[in-house]
Amino acid sequence: MLRLIGASGPIARTHIAQALGLSPATVTSLTRELLERGVVRVADHAPSRGGRPAVLLELVGGAATAFGVKIAPDHLVGVLVDLDADILERFEVRFDATKEDSVERLADVLESWIGSAASHGQLLGVGLGMPGVVDVGRGTVSSPLLGWQEVPLSNLLQARLGVPVVMDNDVNTLAVSERLYGRCREVENFITVTIGLGVGLGIVVGGDIYHGYGGGAGEFGHVSAVDDGPRCSCGKHGCLEAVVADPALVAQARTLGLITQRQGIRKLRALADSGDPKAREIFARSGAVLGRAVGGLVNILSPELVLISGEGIQGWMHIAEDFDRTLRDHIFPPLNAVAVEVDPWDDLKWAVGAAALVLRATFTPHDERQADNSIRALLLAEPGGVGVVA
Ligand SMILES: [Zn+2]
């Protein structure tokens, strides 16, 4: 019921009963409980012809909060959001996640952030977006980028912080937030492709993230793209991200002498912006390789929408034309209705996505994760136990 009110509210009790197949009496008694606990409120009265106007119910955004944190190799971005995923506070700090004592220091940072945001009311939990393979069931993360292997991060942090901690791959958190709050609320099958330091993929099938065995689904960046290609961070050769990610573009530009060893992707973008044909050629080739690879994904998954995101988007104007052309060249014609949308770059959105992992737990019908149950229990704590707004 919470999930329905959150997703479709303001909504009348009669519509809740219809949507969930419950009797009007059951809906009345359950919604009364939610109203008393301050999680749901009367939003409005629907106009009606004759009879009493129907009461419309909506979620109380400020009834509880969640923390979301994106963990990058060199910095942390955090947000505190309410139940509507509106940002209440934001945090950012330089952080070296590749050092030995990373988990301890991460716990220290999170503890201080949580402490400074305590005045906003009941915290339901902390969501983490990790650059690596996350086994959601076991709560472990392996990240070659950070040098982490099977770190039981959820349990370690939960023990230190005393609140539920949930995590997922960072691109998956982006997809979760698009599904819950973004443009994919009505889209059951879509993929999010991110470009930047690496190449990422979030797969949403039937409304849910597809994790694969052990959480490894979506390692799109390590799909083989070219024969005898450059060495990838994973140790193989010719992976997609070794050809099209920002470090690969920078390496190509340095080889051509377009930029110096001290200059990076910004300088390369600036050159392309100013019309340098060699710089533009580097982006265009990357677009062509990426378009072909995404075309293959479309043929396998038949998504309704492909969302392109990530910091590499800042060079999209030089990538788009060749991407679009090769994408359409490689899509099986009956699947050509797929739409492609490009998301403006926004670091905070990843952190909001991580917070959405917590918020999703309050709306999910599944019970397989212990942390999800703990989060729901906090939301539905004793009447008056959460900060009631209005
Ligand atoms: Zn690779």
Mean per-residue pLDDT, 231-235: 89
Beta-carbon neighbours within 5 Å of ion ligand 1: 222, 232, 234, 236, 239
pLDDT for 368: 57
Q: Is the peptide bond before 10 cis (omega within 30 degrees of 0)?
A: yes
Q: In which band, very low, low, confident or very high, does the pLDDT at 386 lie, cut at 50, 70 and 90?
A: very low
Mean per-residue pLDDT, 259-288: 97
Q: How far is the CA of 237 from the centre of ligand 1 (A)?
A: 7
DSSP SS3 for 165: strand
Give 384 or 254, the one with higher predicted confidence.
254
Q: How far is the CA of 191 from the centre of ligand 1 (A)?
A: 20
Q: How far is the CA of 332 from the centre of ligand 1 (A)?
A: 26
At residue 390, does pLDDT exceed 60?
no
Give 48 or 114, the one with higher predicted confidence.
114
At residue 48, does pLDDT exceed 70?
no
Q: How far is the CA of 317 from the centre of ligand 1 (A)?
A: 26
8 Å CB contact between 147 and 185 = no
76-128 pLDDT, tens digit each? 999 999 988 889 999 999 999 999 899 999 999 999 999 988 888 889 999 99
Portions of the chain given CATH number 3.30.420.40: 63-163+348-379, 186-344
pLDDT for 44: 76
Q: How far is the CA of 222 from the centre of ligand 1 (A)?
A: 4
Q: How far is the CA of 232 from the centre of ligand 1 (A)?
A: 5
Mean per-residue pLDDT, 280-292: 98
Q: In which band, very low, low, confident or very high, does the pLDDT at 145 lie, cut at 50, 70 and 90?
A: confident
Tokens encoding 292:
């072909």
pTM score, two decimals? 0.85
Q: How far is the CA of 312 from the centre of ligand 1 (A)?
A: 18
Q: How far is the CA of 10 from the centre of ligand 1 (A)?
A: 46
Q: How far is the CA of 146 from the centre of ligand 1 (A)?
A: 15
Q: What is the CATH T-level fold of the domain 2-59, as seen in this structure?
A: Arc Repressor Mutant, subunit A (1.10.10)
pLDDT for 365: 57
Q: How far is the CA of 243 from the centre of ligand 1 (A)?
A: 10
Q: How far is the CA of 360 from the centre of ligand 1 (A)?
A: 31
Residue type, 347: D
Number of C-beta neighbours around residue 389 at 10 A: 12
Q: How far is the CA of 240 from the centre of ligand 1 (A)?
A: 7
pLDDT for 363: 65
Percent of the chain with pLDDT over 90: 66
Residue linked to tokens 């265009």 = 284
Q: How far is the CA of 366 from the centre of ligand 1 (A)?
A: 34
Please state the φ and ψ torsions of residue 259, each to the nearest 5 degrees: -135, 160
pLDDT for 38: 84
Residue type, 131: P
Portions of the chain given CATH number 1.10.10.10: 2-59
Q: How far is the CA of 200 from the centre of ligand 1 (A)?
A: 11
pLDDT for 367: 54
Q: How far is the CA of 284 from the centre of ligand 1 (A)?
A: 21
Q: How far is the CA of 238 from the centre of ligand 1 (A)?
A: 7
The torsion angle over the Cα atoms of residues 184, 186, 191 and 192, rounded to 10 degrees, is 0
CA atoms within 13 A on the CB side of 111: 13
Mean per-residue pLDDT, 301-327: 96
- Average pLDDT score over the chain: 90
H/E element, 273? helix 265-273
Q: How far is the CA of 154 from the centre of ligand 1 (A)?
A: 26
Q: How far is the CA of 244 from the centre of ligand 1 (A)?
A: 12
Distance of alpha carbon 358 from alpha carbon 360, whole angstroms: 5
pLDDT for 387: 39
Q: How far is the CA of 96 from the centre of ligand 1 (A)?
A: 23
Q: How far is the CA of 190 from the centre of ligand 1 (A)?
A: 24
Q: What is the CATH T-level fold of the domain 63-163+348-379, as seen in this structure?
A: Nucleotidyltransferase; domain 5 (3.30.420)
Distance of alpha carbon 78 from alpha carbon 130, whole angstroms: 13
Q: How far is the CA of 219 from the centre of ligand 1 (A)?
A: 9
Mean per-residue pLDDT, 370-374: 74
pLDDT for 366: 57
Q: What is the CATH T-level fold of the domain 186-344, as seen in this structure?
A: Nucleotidyltransferase; domain 5 (3.30.420)
